[in-house]
Amino acid sequence: MLRRYQTHVITVDPVQPEERQLQPAVEALLAGELVAFPTETVYGLGADATNQDAVRRIFSVKGRPSDNPLIVHVVSFDQLIPLTRSIPDMARQLFEAFSPGPVTLVMERTDLVPDIVTAHLNTVAVRIPAHPVARSLIQCAGIAVAAPSANRSGRPSPTHAWHVKQDLDGLIPYIIDGGPSQFGLESTVIDTTGTRPVILRPGSITADQIFWATGLHPVTEQYKTGQTTGLLDFETSPPKAPGMKYRHYAPRAAVLIARCETDPDDSPPMNRIAGECLDQGKRVGLFASLRTLRELTIPWTLIADASSPDPVSSRSDLHRNEAIAFAYGPDRDPISASQHLFDAMRLLDNEAVDVLIAEQLPDHDIGTAYMNRLRKAARQETQSSDSEEKQETACKHRKQVVFVCTGNTCRSPMAERLFNAEMTEGSWIASSAGLAALTDSPASPQAIRVLSERYQLDSSGHRSRQLTTEIADTADLLVPMTLYQKQLIQRQFPDISHKVFTLGEAAGQPQADISDPFGGDMEQYDLAAQEIHRLVIQMIKQIDRIAGSSQQTSP
Ligand code: TXA
Ligand code: MG
């Protein structure tokens, strides 16, 4: 079960933080607890990188898939040396040019870095942050700090302490508030294990800057739909930065990308899309420069103006037919747009907009990172269309059903994917687990084939996991394949037995047990998949009623 905390926010001077103020957070880190802290890119959720239990907690608190490795943060070259097998020349050059700063280098790792940090890769990603608060925290603790962005998985990265609080309140003991992040997008991740630097994730350090500072010519892993073979490569080989395959940075609202009126480009102009959405009665949020906003003829009103120090006055006079606008700056400028994008996503979500229309900017230099995050949020750029990415967006507002079988390699992953494919309206999200599962095994080849051939669903990314108390506690419903499995779950987790229904029961057909096709031929797998599919469709029709009844009977 996830531990609950009274989350303390420690507000410090971002330029000269007092060590005395940081002390409770330092002690928490050393005791294996998690601490959220500011960096110049986004806020990080830190744990002692050599403490496996502490790192494991990062994954559960974030709801992060375990195949997505973490960045290790250090303050000096000396601290970095023991973590890496060797430091390639190009890594040295890159560190010299850009560290401390918003750049992360992937290098071969030593055994000092636990597998859980690197998701079993033989490389580790290391960053030397520049933010005085991050540096002071790491320095005082005297340890390497593993830290992903401090958001729930799938949500926009936090650029203010309140963003962290919004996602992680009660789940961690300390948030250090060091004011807004300077860059607002995550660091540039560069693989230095090959012959040339490869940019795995674009950030504020651009390919051109790398060339001018070091003479090195970086290659960019492309993740834009249809633009390169990157997408096809992914089908056969794992992505270089595993995190890039997931849908990220997503507000609850649908994100659309639009160009300003005068820009000749292929995306539709903001005025037209916003007008159409308003006509359909949608609540519309806009993220653009003031210049772009002033070119619009549709009505809009400001919720925030990043170019002005004064807060925007009350919007009590907002008309139903007006868009709500976040101005990131006076003029079209990717640096300001990057700085405020994630903040705008959260603010506009708080205003319950249905669509967020964001300004397209030229896709080069720092604009590359901005457009990369925007496309991901707009779902134009996802690596896998299966439920993994949906799983990543399983944040607070979605209810969770966990399908359970024995090994979590066949029946339950099939149910998970079929459920997520059929659950079009999005209030529920499925995952799966096993009662006697090995960790990180793929789905069985037969299950992968049936799902792909019969349903065009890709389950190649599935990795098995054991049903734990934590998973059982956070699920809204647990759905095993057979009555016997239901009894086992109820015996093992008596506190949550009211949330357990067999797939047959959940579908209103209590007799239906899905037996294990293991060892059978393809036809048996095919039949099992069809039966699961049929029951899942029935289950979806009444899922809210079942969940309601489980709540009524809960202790
Ligand atoms: O700016 C940042 O980088 C922030 C701050 C807190 O430092 N951190 C951050 O972490 O964005 P996270 O976990 O949200 O993203 C880390 C990215 C993921 O895409 C992950 O797949 C990639 O780095 N990564 C980590 N270790 C890797 C490795 N060994 N090889 C390739 N990619 C790796
Ligand atoms: Mg992140």
Q: CA-CA distances (angstroms) from residue 424 to 7, 349, 387, 504? A: 35, 21, 12, 21
Residue 31 pLDDT:
98
Q: How many CB atoms lie within 10 A of CB 449?
A: 16
Q: Which atom of ligand 1 is nearest to the CA of 44?
A: 6
User: Same topology for domains 8-225 and 254-396, yes or no?
Assistant: no
Quick one: which of 163, 107, 110, 161 has its CA closest to 131? 161
Name which residue sits closest to atom 32 of ligand 1, judged by CA: 241
Verify whether ligand 1 is closer than 6 Å to residue 42 (CB atom). Answer: yes
Ordered by start, the domain boundaries in the chain are 8-225, 254-396, 398-552
Centre of ligand 1 to C-alpha 189, Å, is: 7
* Ligand nearest to the Cα of 183, by number: 1
Residue 491 Cα to ligand 1 middle (Å): 39
Listed range (20-24, 243-247, 263-267, 450-454) with the worst mean pLDDT: 243-247
484 Cα–ligand 1 center, Å = 41
pLDDT score at 249: 64
Which ligand lies nearest to the CA atom of residue 104 in the structure? Answer: 1
The number of the ligand 1 atom at minimal distance from the alpha carbon of 242 is 21
Q: Is 506 in the pocket of ligand 1 (CB under 6 A)?
A: no
Mean pLDDT score across all residues of the chain: 87
Tell me the CA–centroid distance for residue 71 and ligand 1, in Å: 5
Residue 474 contacts residue 2 (beta carbons within 8 Å):
yes
Residue 297 has pLDDT above 50, yes or no: yes
Alpha helices in 223-333 (DSSP H): 230-236, 270-279, 290-295
Nearest ligand to the CA of 44 is 1
- Is residue 244 lining ligand 1, measured as CB closer than 6 Å? yes
Asked if the model's pLDDT at residue 386 lies above 50, the reply is: no
Output 132 or 383, whichever has higher pLDDT: 132
Choice from 104, 113, 118, 123 to test ligand 1 binding pocket (greatest atom count within 8 A of CB):
104
| Sequence-ordered list of residues with C-beta below 8 angstroms from that of 96, at least 6 positions apart, any chain | none
Percent of the chain with pLDDT over 90: 67
What residues have their beta carbon closer than 5 A to ion ligand 2?
149
255 lines ligand 1 (CB under 6 A): no
pLDDT value of position 410: 95
372 to 14, 81, 379, 552: CA distances (angstroms): 28, 32, 11, 45
* Smallest-distance ligand from the CA of 125: 1
How many angstroms does the Cα of residue 176 sit away from the middle of ligand 1? 20
202-206, 228-232, 537-541: least confident range: 228-232
Q: How confident is the model over 45-68, as pLDDT tens digits?
A: 999 999 999 999 999 999 888 888
Give 489-540 pLDDT, tens digit per residue: 999 999 999 999 999 999 999 988 998 998 888 999 999 999 999 999 999 9
The pLDDT tens digits of the residues spanning 258-286 come to 987 666 655 678 999 999 999 988 999 99
Owner of token pair 């674009």 = 202
Closest Cα to atom 6 of ligand 1: 44
Q: How many residues comprise the chain?
A: 555
CATH topology of domain 254-396: Rossmann fold (3.40.50)
Distances (CA, A) of 234 to 31, 40, 222: 39, 31, 11
Does residue 173 line the site of ligand 1, with CB under 6 A? no
pLDDT band for position 244 (50/70/90)? low
| Ligand nearest to the Cα of 157, by number | 2
147: Cβ below 6 Å to ligand 1?
A: yes
Question: Where on the phi/psi map is residue 85: left (φ > 0), alpha (ψ -120 to 50), or beta?
Answer: alpha
> Each residue of 329-375: pLDDT tens digit?
999 999 999 999 999 999 998 888 999 999 999 988 889 999 999 98
Q: Which CATH number fits domain 398-552: 3.40.50.2300, 1.10.8.10, 3.30.460.80, 2.40.40.20?
A: 3.40.50.2300
Mutate to test the pocket of ligand 1, among 40, 59, 66, 70 (most ligand atoms within 8 A of CB): 70
Give first-to-last CA distance, the chain, whole Å.
17
pTM of the model: 0.69
Q: Does residue 73 carry a pLDDT above 50?
A: yes
Select from 58, 118, 149 the residue to mutate for testing ligand 1; criterion: most ligand atoms less than 8 Å from CB: 149
149/70 Cα distance (integer angstroms) = 9
pLDDT category of residue 8 using cuts at 50, 70 and 90: very high
Q: Which ligand is nearest to the CA of 128?
A: 1
Residue 383 has pLDDT above 60, yes or no: no
Question: 124: CA distance to ligand 1 center in Å?
Answer: 10
Span from the CA of 393 to the centroid of ligand 2 (angstroms): 12
Q: Which of 34-38, 226-230, 283-287 has the lowest mean pLDDT?
A: 226-230
What is the predicted pLDDT for the residue at 399?
83
Q: Dihedral through CA 343, CA 344, CA 346, CA 348, nearest 10?
A: 160
pLDDT band at 235 (very low <50, low <70, confident <90, very high): very low
Q: Is 192 in the pocket of ligand 1 (CB under 6 A)?
A: no
- The CA 477 to ligand 2 mean position distance, Å, reads 27
Distances in whole angstroms, Cα of residue 284 to Cα of each of 157, 288, 353 = 22, 13, 5
Backbone angles phi, psi at 507, to 5 degrees: -95, 5
Q: Taking every pair of C-alpha atoms in the chain, what is the biggest distance, in angstroms?
A: 69
| Ligand approaching nearest to the C-alpha of 151 | 2
Average pLDDT over residues 435-447: 89
Determine if ligand 1 sits within 6 Å of the CB of residue 125.
Answer: yes
Please return the burial class of 313, using the count of CB atoms within 10 Å of its CB with bins 0-12, 13-18 and 19+.
exposed
Q: Is the CB of 202 under 6 A from ligand 1?
A: no
**pLDDT at residue 474 is higher than 90:** no
C-beta 69 within 6 A of ligand 1: yes
Ligand 1: does its nearest atom lie under 6 Å from the Cβ of 131?
no
CA-to-CA distance for 497 and 501, rounded, in angstroms?
Answer: 9
Considering only residues 386 and 35, tell me which one the structure prediction assigns the higher pLDDT: 35
Q: Dihedral of CA 304/306/308/310: which sign?
A: positive
According to DSSP, the residues that pair with 189 across neighbouring strands are 104, 201
pLDDT of residue 75: 98
Cβ neighbours around 268 below 10 Å, total: 15
Fold of 8-225: DHBP synthase (3.90.870)
